[in-house]
């Protein structure tokens, strides 16, 4: 008889410079494709030429795509047309995606700055100065912005005022984004150490040093699901660490460097290296790998994967261009691919059947940097752990993290879209509490919020009826999103 693990149970239940604002950093859309057949994938809906390389994952909230560029500009594009809504420029290279919470965009750059911008206008609300440059995306939770700077460690900054709440130093520099789940902030550094800090106080809860050599560098943030932290290493390993104790649960040797953030979806860890790998989240056993991809092209997976409706989207780096692949999450088989002559800036994201991804330009390529909107071939949204917790970028279903906050996080049915940290309960398909999330980013039901819940019987609708009703609401909300685009 198969062991009924804790994770299976959880799955079952569920100020040196000031920026300026203007228009014109991104060009108007250069193409607009006609509607494609349902189920088709990889067709262009629109493309926008950018003035500089897109260097981070896009964030899509309230029908706006936020796109960081290498020249220090942040562009806000309309999700349905690609038209420019506003730009914010500070002239300093940014390497991380933005976080969006309650109508505010949080944007960090390598000029020792974290900005809070009005999501509608791009106007600066405040600026927080770090000790060294920020090379990673900020993460928002409980009214706080968490970010790491390269040499300091991690900061907690009040999201409304920009005042520092606390900061802690790590043993080595860290240029990856923190993951915030439940009451903990998880961070990795370049000495191969993974930390858990108290989200409210910054007190260290545990540290886990599982590096064995100088090559054990961490190139991408960890992710968290079902009370487990998953992290990839430069020495070709993926580790699962107990989120409560810091003890190692399993280790998988991939055979080559892991430079992307894992994402967990429906009990499977997807991570990119030489191949795209699918590992059992409980055991680390290999389910499949895309050997066909590397054999035919000689590339590696250069961006963190995202998962929507049972399809994995990931970009492959090549010597003569790059491919964005849509791959069946169950079998590892290719569904479609989209090729560019240059490269992809970072991880794609899927919102309401559209893949958003940015590109970079190479000296030997004809294509300029672009922001792309492609037909996904599915109708849903990214709902793996990376997106759900707002690491490297997220979408409108993950922007409503400001829910009721009390003392203790409790397990809740998996929202797969709300970005309220809590006990991660697996990455199943879009479910009830995601469906109850308003398309303007106002979360009606949040996963693992710090408010108490009860499972006792009582008057009201049955669970089945409630889920059915919420599922219908999700359909209507998805239609609303599409209609408004």
Domains in the chain with CATH codes? 32-388 (2.130.10.10)
d(CA 208, CA 226): 18
Closest residue by Cα to residue 200 from 276, 146, 126: 146
pLDDT of residue 477: 46
Inter-residue contact 371 to 50 (CB < 8 Å)? yes
Closest residue by Cα to residue 207 from 189, 193, 221, 227: 193
pLDDT of residue 136: 83
d(CA 90, CA 306): 30
pLDDT of residue 67: 94
Residue located via tokens 């092209």: 297
Strand partners, 140: 145
pTM of the model: 0.78
Q: Which residues of 67-80 are buried (b: 16+ CB within 10 A; e: fewer)?
A: bbbbbbbbbbbbbb
pLDDT of residue 379: 93
Number of neighbours of residue 479 by Cβ within 10 angstroms = 12
Strand partners, 354: 351, 375
Alpha helix ranges (H) inside 342-381: none
Residue located via tokens 């409560």: 244
Inter-residue contact 303 to 314 (CB < 8 Å)? yes
Closest residue by Cα to residue 185 from 165, 170, 161, 205: 205
Encoded tokens for 449: 């919020």
Inter-residue contact 175 to 217 (CB < 8 Å)? no
Strand partners, 89: 20, 73
Query: Strands 84-89 and 20-22, how do they pair?
Result: antiparallel
E strand or H helix that includes residue 89? strand 84-89
Distance of CA 183 to the CA centre of its chain: 19
pLDDT of residue 85: 97
pLDDT of residue 320: 55
Q: List per-residue pLDDT tens for the chain, 485 residues long.
A: 444 444 444 444 443 344 445 444 565 555 433 333 344 799 999 999 998 888 889 999 999 999 998 888 899 999 999 999 999 987 566 678 899 999 999 998 877 889 999 999 999 999 998 877 777 889 998 899 998 877 778 999 999 999 999 999 888 767 788 999 989 999 988 778 899 999 999 999 999 987 666 566 777 888 999 999 999 877 778 899 999 999 999 999 887 778 788 999 999 999 988 789 999 999 999 999 987 665 555 567 778 899 999 999 998 875 556 889 999 999 999 999 998 887 887 889 999 999 999 988 876 667 789 999 999 999 999 998 888 888 777 776 655 543 322 222 223 323 333 333 433 333 322 222 233 233 333 322 223 333 333 333 333 434 444 444 444 444 444 444 444 45
Closest residue by Cα to residue 67 from 46, 86, 39, 80: 86
Closest residue by Cα to residue 130 from 114, 107, 146: 114
d(CA 381, CA 395): 8
Degrees to nearest 5, angle at CA 98 with 97 and 104: 175
Strand partners, 252: 238
d(CA 252, CA 286): 8
pLDDT of residue 3: 43
Phi-psi category of residue 91: left, alpha or beta, with phi > 0 → left and psi -120 to 50 → alpha = left
Degrees to nearest 5, angle at CA 365 with 361 and 369: 25
């Amino acid at each position: 008889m198969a062991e009924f693990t804790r994770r299976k149970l959880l799955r079952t239940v569920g100020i040196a410079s000031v920026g300026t604002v203007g228009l014109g950093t991104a060009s108007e859309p250069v193409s607009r494709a006609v509607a494609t057949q349902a189920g088709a994938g990889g067709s262009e809906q629109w493309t926008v030429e950018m003035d500089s390389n897109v260097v981070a994952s896009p964030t899509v909230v309230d029908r706006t795509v936020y796109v960081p560029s290498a020249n220090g500009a942040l562009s806000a594009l309309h999700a349905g047309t690609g038209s420019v809504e506003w730009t914010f420029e500070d002239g300093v290279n940014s390497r991380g995606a933005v976080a969006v919470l309650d109508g505010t965009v949080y944007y960090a750059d390598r000029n020792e700055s974290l900005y809070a911008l009005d999501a509608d206008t791009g106007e600066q609300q405040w600026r927080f100065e770090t000790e060294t440059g920020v090379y990673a995306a900020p993460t928002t939770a409980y009214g706080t912005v968490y970010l790491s700077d390269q040499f300091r460690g991690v900061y907690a900054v009040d999201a409304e005022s920009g005042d520092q709440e606390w900061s802690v130093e790590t043993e080595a520099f860290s240029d990856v984004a923190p993951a915030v789940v439940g009451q903990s902030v998880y961070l990795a550094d370049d000495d191969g150490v993974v930390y858990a800090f108290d989200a409210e106080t910054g007190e260290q809860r545990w540290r886990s040093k599982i590096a064995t050599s100088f090559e054990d560098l961490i190139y991408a943030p960890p992710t968290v699901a079902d009370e487990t932290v998953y992290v990839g290493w430069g020495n070709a390993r993926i580790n699962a660490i107990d989120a409560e104790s810091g003890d190692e649960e399993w280790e998988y040797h991939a055979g080559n460097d892991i430079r992307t953030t894992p994402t967990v979806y429906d009990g499977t860890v997807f991570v990119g290296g030489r191949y795209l790998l699918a590992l059992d989240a409980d055991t680390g056993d290999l389910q499949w790998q895309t050997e066909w991809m590397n054999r035919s092209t000689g590339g590696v997976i250069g961006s963190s994967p995202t998962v929507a409706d049972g399809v994995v989207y990931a970009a492959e780096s090549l010597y003569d261009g790059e491919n964005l692949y849509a791959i069946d999450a169950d079998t590892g088989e290719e569904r479609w691919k989209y090729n560019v002559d240059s490269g992809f800036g970072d991880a794609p994201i899927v919102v309401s059947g559209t893949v958003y991804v940015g590109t970079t330009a190479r000296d030997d390529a004809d294509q300029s940097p672009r922001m792309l909107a492609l037909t996904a071939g599915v109708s849903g949204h990214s709902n793996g752990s990376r997106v759900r917790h707002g690491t490297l970028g997220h979408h409108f279903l993950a922007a409503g993290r400001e829910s009721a906050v009390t003392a203790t996080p409790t397990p809740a049915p998996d929202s797969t879209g709300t970005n309220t940290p809590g006990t991660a309960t697996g990455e199943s398909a879009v479910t009830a509490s995601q469906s109850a999330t308003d398309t303007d980013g106002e979360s009606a039901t949040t996963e693992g919020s710090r408010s108490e819940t009860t499972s006792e019987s009582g008057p009201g609708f049955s669970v089945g009826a409630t889920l059915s009703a919420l599922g219908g609401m999700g359909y209507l909300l998805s239609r609303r999103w599409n209609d408004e685009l």
